Amino acid sequence: MARIADLVAYPLKSNDGVALDRAELGPAGALRGDRTYALVEAGVDPHEASVGGNGGYVNGKSEPAVHGLRASYEIAGPADATPTAVTLSRPARPETGVDADERTFALPDEGDALAAWVGDYLGYAVDLVREPDGGFPDDRAARGPTVISRATLETVAGWFDGVADATEMCRRLRPSVVVDDCPAFWEDRLFADRGEAVRFAAGDAELLGVNPCQRCVVPSRNPDTGEEIDGFRETFIENRRATLPDWTESDPFDHDFRLMVNTVVPEERWGSTVAVGDEVTIEGVEPLDEAAY
């Protein structure tokens, strides 16, 4: 029986996560507090910007220097990762004339100071934006937690000499939920054909798996240094195809650079909780109106 092994929220989008023992599924279904804050280029509307790396978000897709930032958090509660303060550290960056530094910022009161401090490090002005109801996920349609298995992380880490272990691969892929006691690529059972969803339960929550996550350049980069693995995409695609389980084949899996599952949480399940150790059970495939998510 698959079980939740890890829950991770990312209170400041594109920065370090925080491990949770349990988490509430907040508005729109994300782990409460996940990606509540994000950095964008100054003046950019985060709701109009693209998350794909060329649309104004200051993330690992568009700004490799983000990988040099380290973050730790004070959070609102044991099941609520909304940050009340964040401690950021940055390395020296001669090209922007800043020294190594560490500062703690209370949130939301010191958001402007945080943005100015990060902007000094990057060499251009940025804004810190806040969205308490659902955060700033990459997939704005499927806003529930992303799911992957520990066995998958271990397997994929083994494809690359430059990846130390499953823990590092988890930091590269940035899932919200890691499940254990199941085989590699088990999470591919959590999506079906287009127009369908796979309903699954954990704790008192029910989620709908809707599609396999399309990957980007971020997993190819060392999460601490930003150093990129040459040929990462090609190696990934070759090995993904070679190890593809029979249960993965479906309409949404239209190319091999996909890993992890995006989910939707039905509105009636917002406010439910999931916890480390919860069993994860697949309840079945059901129709899904794609226009609704």
The total of other beta-carbon atoms located within 10 Å of residue 43's CB is 9
pLDDT of residue 290: 64
Please work out, in degrees rounded to the nearest 5, the angle formed at the alpha carbon of residue 7 by the alpha carbons of 286 and 86: 130
Q: Are residues 177 and 235 in the same domain?
A: yes
DSSP assignment letter at 170: H
Q: Are residues 124 and 177 in the same domain?
A: no
Is position 135 within any domain? no
The domain boundary residue, chosen from 77, 95, 130: 130
Number of domains comprising the chain:
2
pLDDT of residue 293: 55
Is position 257 within any domain? yes
DSSP assignment letter at 109: T
pLDDT of residue 48: 87
Q: Are residues 167 and 264 in the same domain?
A: yes
pLDDT of residue 49: 84
Cβ–Cβ under 8 Å, residues 50 and 230: no
Q: Are residues 77 and 36 in the same domain?
A: yes
Question: 48 is written with which tokens?
Answer: 């109009």
DSSP symbols for 25-42: B-GGGSBTTTT-EEEEET
Residue 122 has φ and ψ, to the nearest 5°, of -80, -30
Q: Are residues 164 and 286 in the same domain?
A: yes
For the chain, the average pLDDT equals 95
List all residues 6 or more positions away from 32 whose beta carbon is below 8 Å from its beta carbon.
9, 23, 24, 25, 26, 79, 80, 81, 82
Mean pLDDT of 47-66: 84
CATH of the domain at 248: 2.40.33
Q: Are residues 119 and 197 in the same domain?
A: no
Q: Are residues 257 and 161 in the same domain?
A: yes
Region for residue 237 given its phi and psi (left: phi exceeds 0; alpha: psi -120 to 50; beta: otherwise) = alpha
Please work out, in degrees rounded to the nearest 5, the angle formed at the alpha carbon of residue 138 by the alpha carbons of 123 and 268: 140
pLDDT of residue 71: 98
Q: Are residues 21 and 119 in the same domain?
A: yes
Is position 27 within any domain? yes
Give which of 82, 81, 93, 138 is closest to 118, Cα–Cα: 93
pLDDT tens per residue, range 15-52: 999 999 999 999 899 999 999 999 999 999 998 887 76
Cβ–Cβ under 8 Å, residues 105 and 112: no
Cβ–Cβ under 8 Å, residues 7 and 33: no
pLDDT of residue 130: 97
Is position 138 within any domain? no
Cβ–Cβ under 8 Å, residues 232 and 221: no
Is position 3 within any domain? no
Is position 126 within any domain? yes
The domain boundary residue, chosen from 130, 155, 177: 130
HSE toward the beta carbon, residue 108, CA cutoff 13 A: 11
Q: Are residues 96 and 165 in the same domain?
A: no
Q: Are residues 32 and 102 in the same domain?
A: yes
What domain range is 179 assigned to?
147-292
Is the pLDDT at 154 greater than 90, yes or no? yes
Q: Are residues 157 and 279 in the same domain?
A: yes
Q: Are residues 81 and 25 in the same domain?
A: yes
Q: Say if strands 273-275 and 147-149 run parallel, antiparallel, or are unpaired.
A: unpaired
The domain boundary residue, chosen from 98, 130, 162: 130
Interhelix angle 166-173/150-157, nearest 10 degrees: 100
